[in-house]
Amino acid sequence: MSSEAISGSITAFSHARPGETDDALRHLIALAHERGLEVRLDADETAKHPSIAPGPGVQLNAELDRDVGLAVAFGGDGTVLRALRAYAGTSVPVIGINFGEVGFLAAISRDDVAGGLERAIAGDFDRLTLPAIEVDFGDQSALAINDIAITRRAGDRVAQLAYAVGGEEAGSVRCDGLVVATAAGSTGYNLANGGPVMAWGVEGYVVSFIAPHSLTARALVVAPEDELTVDNRSHDPVELSIDGRPIAEVASGEQVTARFSPDVSVLALPVDSSFYRRLRESFGRLASS
């Protein structure tokens, strides 16, 4: 648990519906000013929030500072993931305020903005260090906090994806795609595929299939030291998405490589937060006796 008050500055992120988050962002700026802090909005955030005027407690059109005391994400899990990727490789904690649907990664509800921000600035939260998946495709690379998805394009034929673990081919599956997820991401696309939920803190990653045309295709939990290679043996390109965002197409005959990377980013959570309680409350999957 962190009990030391935040110092320096705070980076703010928000989702694509700024009208929902303007008031909460203004509250953060006022609170930061009272505490001698400054909220930083980059050019995109500044453009999204034209009602936020220059003044004490806020810096507009700011460059991303990777040495801030805290990052606050106003939005759903996608906004939290964007902040986590921005501060990957640093010790900056990211705290989410849920203005989305599920908000599994958020520490503060939209009904508790004032109290939640007070606690956040006081450093009254636990820190969870999250792993990531490093992805190589062509001459490019990317980092996924939750998951990567390799999927057939809309209107194309069923994909044929071969996958190898630790240099050994494990199978070739006709399917609509596959998902590679961390423990944090296992409650997302992977869960929708019927893949296993991995508790936070479990090392390794899971591979699950989207609409497999096979009775033998099963989700696979991969050891953290084993590299995964996926070959596109389809006639058509397939689409590669990182944390829900399409970023590239993988041509027929090309491959994607994924590796587990520990201790990449820091998620702020309520003190004594339980993974299993959050799972039950967010998804209603675990019934209490």
What is the average per-residue pLDDT within 81-107? 92
Q: Please, is 285 exposed, middle or buried when counting C-beta atoms within 10 Å of its C-beta (0-12, 13-18, 19+)?
A: exposed
Confidence of residue 279 (pLDDT cuts 50, 70, 90): confident
Instruction: Return phi, psi of residue 53, to 5°.
Output: -90, 155
Question: Which active-site residues does the annotation give?
Answer: 77
**Going by DSSP bridges, is the β-strand pair 228-232/70-75 parallel, antiparallel, or unpaired?**
unpaired
> Is 53 within 8 Å of 33 (Cβ atoms)?
no
The strand pair at 228-232 and 255-269 is best described as antiparallel
CB atoms within 10 A of CB 207: 23
- 213 pLDDT higher than 70: yes
CB-side neighbour CA atoms (13 Å) of 226: 20
118 in Cβ contact with 31 (< 8 Å): yes
Average pLDDT over residues 20-34: 95
Per-residue pLDDT, averaged over 245-272, amounts to 95
**The pLDDT of residue 103:** 77
Q: In this predicted structure, what is the pLDDT of residue 3?
A: 62
Average pLDDT over residues 198-203: 90
253-268 average pLDDT score: 96
Residues belonging to the chain:
289
All domains in the chain, ordered by first residue: 9-125+270-283 (3.40.50.10330), 131-262 (2.60.200.30)
| Residue 116: CB atoms within 10 Å | 24
Q: Which of 105, 100, 101 is nearest to 128 (CA)?
A: 105
**pLDDT (0 to 100) of residue 5:** 84
| Amino acid identity for residue 185 in this structure | G
pLDDT > 70: percent of the chain: 96
Sign of the CA dihedral 232, 236, 240, 241? Answer: negative
Where is mean pLDDT largest: 53-57, 133-137, 197-201? Answer: 133-137
Of 132, 91, 138, the closest CA to residue 266 belongs to 91
Question: Smallest Cα–Cα separation from 135: which of 145, 124, 143?
Answer: 143
Top-confidence residue, 102 or 154? 154
Rounded to 5°, angle at Cα 193 from 159 and 270: 135
Q: Is residue 1 very low, low, confident or very high in pLDDT (cuts 50, 70, 90)?
A: very low
| Average pLDDT in the chain | 92
| Average pLDDT estimate for 88-108 | 91
CB 78 within 8 A of CB 104: no
- Lowest-pLDDT choice from 56-65, 98-107, 139-148: 98-107
**Residue 246: pLDDT over 90:** yes
- Average pLDDT rounded to a whole number, residues 201-222: 93
Q: Which tokens in the block code for residue 148?
A: 């990567």
Tell me the pTM: 0.90
3-state secondary structure of 180: strand
pLDDT at residue 266 above 90? Answer: yes
